[in-house]
Structures are given as structure tokens and as C-alpha cells.
């Protein structure tokens, strides 16, 4: 398949799940991400082969059930305020984790008012099913901090972390989540202060933690970087360039491990957005997938290739 794609599903609709995440469950790859059509905020499709896509549902919409937590803000819409992208508040980069203890799926995301990006809040929603309807729990500033581009990371022991751009994108924060994943327990790291990082994406391979981040240039692509650590709460390495000066015209959003069905080798796939731009151009945003190469001294890299073989 091509390394850049924007598929249509089996009903002929465009798969809009940007700034998203791919989770493997019950033999399917579930793609979850931003959908800014009509009153939708987050949608889900699934596939077995990345060619045939089945729509599973809108997980969060402006009409979702709201059960606002104390001290959080319930709005998904602000009357009289319009966005240039769809309707209602801006919901970006949704990511979901399954909480073994509560049996619930928990979604964290970036929340902004429709008209501007000044509030910089995170938001949380929950569901009993990965691809079910989510109940919106509200938005807030984690421990009072600004919070924009974000991701989640889960340890094998169930500990989970929310990583987000703070202080007007100047710093990157790593927060440990509470046991139920519904709140922030504490701030564990402030990374690369003043270096303006966006699009954090964390994964682990062979006991090494890797983080991809982009620079901060709106919808325009820039040079991404990678860093590593022995523990997510420990000290992180310096940043190193990842891809070329535009990261091959993409911005990270997730890393997906896939075990190659032919060789049995576990490979790690860079999954990214090639944003169309702001306004109507946003709807031309595409997905980019490239294999991550692991070099000596824990280094990682990607190279451009037009075609990819996911080995599935
Ligand atoms: C870059 C971010 O990574 C995107 O998620 C989005 O917030 C755009 N900026 C908006 O300009």
C-alpha cells in the first residue's frame, strides 16, 4: 500500500480520524481520531488490512451525554462562537486507554474554545466499549497548567501517563494519571523547557522509552525529533532529528507495533498526519505510515518510501 493515504470506508465515506491513534483489538486495527464533520468530534473505524475500512461509530459528538466532574467545565459548544473547522469547541488528538481495574475505556484529548486556542485545556470522556458512545466528563487545566497537544502512554503494570504541551507550548509535561485514569495524580517531568514541542508520541521497545515530538508551526510540517529514557519518569535524552526538515511532510500522532505475519518480527510503525491546512483544506488531511528503523546506541530513524508493506 502507499505510505500516504486517506481512505474511503466500505460505505464510500472518507475516514476522518486525524491526530489519532491505532489500537489492535480482537484481530482488528481500530483507528480513532478527530472528525470535524457536522456535529462530530471523535470517530472510529476498524480494518484488518488497511485497505477495507468499516465505520464503527462516532465516539464523541456535540450531542454526547455529559456528566461533568466537579470543578471541570461541561461545554462542548459555546453559543455564538464559531470555529473555522466544523462546529463547537475544538477537540484535538484524542487518545484512549483501557483501564483494567474499572473495565472502562478512557479518552483524553485537547480542548479549546471554537474561536481561539487561548484556554489550552485537556478533556476526558469514558465508555464501556472502545468503539461505543463516550460520556463527556468535562475539560480543565491539569494542576492549573496550560495543556495543548497531548498523548497517553500505558505501562504493562497499568500505570498510565498523560503527556501534554504546557506554558503556551514552551514546555512538555508528563503527568501520572490516577488509578482510574480519570484524573491527574502528579506532574512527573518537565521536558525541554522553552523548546516549543508539539505532537508528543510515546512508545516502548525492549525496556527503552521513546518519545517523538514535532516543532511548533501550526498546520505546517517541521523537523520532528526523537528522545529516549530508561524510565518514563526518569531523565530523558537530548532531542535528535527524526526524518527530514519537514518529517517527510508529516507530524507524529502514534506509533503502532505490528508483528509481521510472514517473518514473526515485531516492527514499529510511525503513524502521522499530513495536514491539509486550516479551513476547508483541513478535510484533505492524509495519514502517513513509515517503518521505524532501530540503529546502534538506541537511535531511531525513518526514511522516505512511497510504498509500504505492513506484513499483515
Ligand atoms: C499543530 C497541532 O499539532 C495540531 O494538533 C493542531 O493543534 C494545529 N497545530 C493547529 O494549528
Model pLDDT for residues 23-80, shown as the tens digit of each residue: 999 999 999 999 999 999 999 999 999 999 999 999 999 999 999 999 999 999 999 9
Give the pLDDT score at 236: 98
- The preferred substitution site among 34, 165, 251, 288 for testing ligand 1, maximizing ligand atoms within 8 Å of CB, is 251
- The preferred substitution site among 198, 200, 214 for testing ligand 1, maximizing ligand atoms within 8 Å of CB, is 198
Average pLDDT, the chain: 97
How many structural domains are present in the chain?
1
Give the pLDDT score at 28: 98
For the residues 208-225, what does the mean pLDDT come to? 98
Please, are residues 236 and 173 in contact by the beta-carbon 8 Å criterion? no
What is the percent of the chain with per-residue pLDDT over 70, rounded to a whole number?
Answer: 100
**How confident is the model over 232-273, as pLDDT tens digits?**
999 999 999 999 999 999 999 999 999 999 999 999 999 999
For the residues 128-156, what does the mean pLDDT come to? 98
Give the pLDDT score at 48: 98
Please, are residues 172 and 150 in contact by the beta-carbon 8 Å criterion? no
User: Residue 110 domain-assigned?
Assistant: yes
User: Residue 309 domain-assigned?
Assistant: no
**How long a stretch of residues is the chain?**
312
Q: Which residues line ligand 1 (CB under 6 A)?
A: 19, 92-93, 149, 198-199, 218-219, 251
**How confident is the model over 177-206, as pLDDT tens digits?**
999 999 999 999 999 999 999 999 999 999
Give the pLDDT score at 93: 98
Three-point CA angle 279, 64, 120, nearest 5°? 50
3 state DSSP class of 307:
strand
User: Residue 308 domain-assigned?
Assistant: no
User: Residue 312 domain-assigned?
Assistant: no
Give the pLDDT score at 167: 98
Give the pLDDT score at 251: 98
Interval between CA 101 and ligand 1 midpoint (Å): 33
| Ligand 1 atom nearest to 198, measured from its CA | 3
Under the banding of pLDDT at 50, 70 and 90, the label for residue 219 is very high
User: Residue 70 domain-assigned?
Assistant: yes
Give the pLDDT score at 25: 97
User: Residue 307 domain-assigned?
Assistant: no
User: CATH number, domain at 262?
Assistant: 2.115.10.20
In sequence order, which residues have a C-beta less than 8 Å from that of residue 221 and are 6 or more positions away?
214, 246, 247, 249, 250, 251, 274, 275
User: Residue 311 domain-assigned?
Assistant: no
What is the C-alpha separation between 223 and 168, in angstroms, rounded? Answer: 19
Give the pLDDT score at 132: 98
Give the pLDDT score at 85: 92
What is the C-alpha separation between 25 and 242, in angstroms, rounded? Answer: 29
Give the pLDDT score at 90: 98
Domain span at residue 138? 4-302
User: Residue 104 domain-assigned?
Assistant: yes
- Which residue matches cell numbers 506484513? 311
Amino acid at each position: 500500500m502507499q505510505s500516504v493515504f486517506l481512505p474511503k470506508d466500505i460505505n464510500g465515506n472518507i475516514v476522518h480520524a486525524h491526530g489519532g491513534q491505532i489500537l489492535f483489538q480482537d484481530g482488528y486495527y481500530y483507528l480513532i481520531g478527530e472528525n470535524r464533520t457536522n456535529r462530530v468530534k471523535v470517530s472510529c473505524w476498524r480494518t484488518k488490512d488497511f485497505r477495507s475500512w468499516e465505520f464503527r461509530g462516532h465516539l464523541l459528538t456535540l450531542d454526547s451525554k455529559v456528566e461533568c466532574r466537579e470543578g471541570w467545565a461541561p461545554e462542548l459548544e459555546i453559543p455564538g462562537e464559531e470555529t473555522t473547522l466544523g462546529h463547537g469547541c475544538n477537540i484535538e488528538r484524542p487518545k484512549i486507554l483501557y483501564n483494567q481495574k474499572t473495565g472502562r475505556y478512557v479518552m483524553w484529548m485537547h480542548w479549546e474554545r471554537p474561536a481561539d486556542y487561548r484556554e489550552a485545556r485537556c478533556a476526558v470522556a469514558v465508555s464501556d466499549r472502545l468503539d461505543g458512545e463516550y460520556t463527556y466528563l468535562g475539560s480543565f487545566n491539569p494542576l492549573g497548567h496550560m495543556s495543548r497537544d497531548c498523548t497517553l502512554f500505558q505501562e504493562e503494570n497499568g500505570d498510565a501517563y498523560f503527556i501534554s504541551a504546557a506554558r503556551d507550548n514552551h514546555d512538555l509535561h508528563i503527568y501520572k494519571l490516577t488509578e482510574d485514569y480519570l484524573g491527574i495524580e502528579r506532574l512527573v517531568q518537565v521536558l525541554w523547557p522553552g523548546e516549543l514541542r508539539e505532537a508528543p508520541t510515546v512508545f516502548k521497545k525492549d525496556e527503552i522509552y521513546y518519545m517523538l515530538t514535532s516543532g511548533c508551526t501550526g498546520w505546517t510540517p517541521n523537523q520532528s525529533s526523537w528522545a529516549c529514557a530508561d524510565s518514563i519518569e526518569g531523565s530523558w535524552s537530548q532531542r535528535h532529528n527524526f526524518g527530514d526538515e519537514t518529517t517527510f511532510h508529516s507530524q507524529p500522532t502514534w506509533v503502532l507495533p505490528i508483528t509481521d505475519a510472514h517473518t514473526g518480527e515485531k516492527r514499529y510503525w510511525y503513524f502521522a498526519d499530513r495536514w491539509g491546512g486550516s479551513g476547508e483544506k483541513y478535510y484533505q488531511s492524509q495519514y502517513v505510515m513509515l517503518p521505524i528503523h532501530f540503529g546502534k546506541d538506541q537511535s531511531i530513524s525513518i526514511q522516505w518510501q512511497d510504498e509500504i508493506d505492513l506484513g499483515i
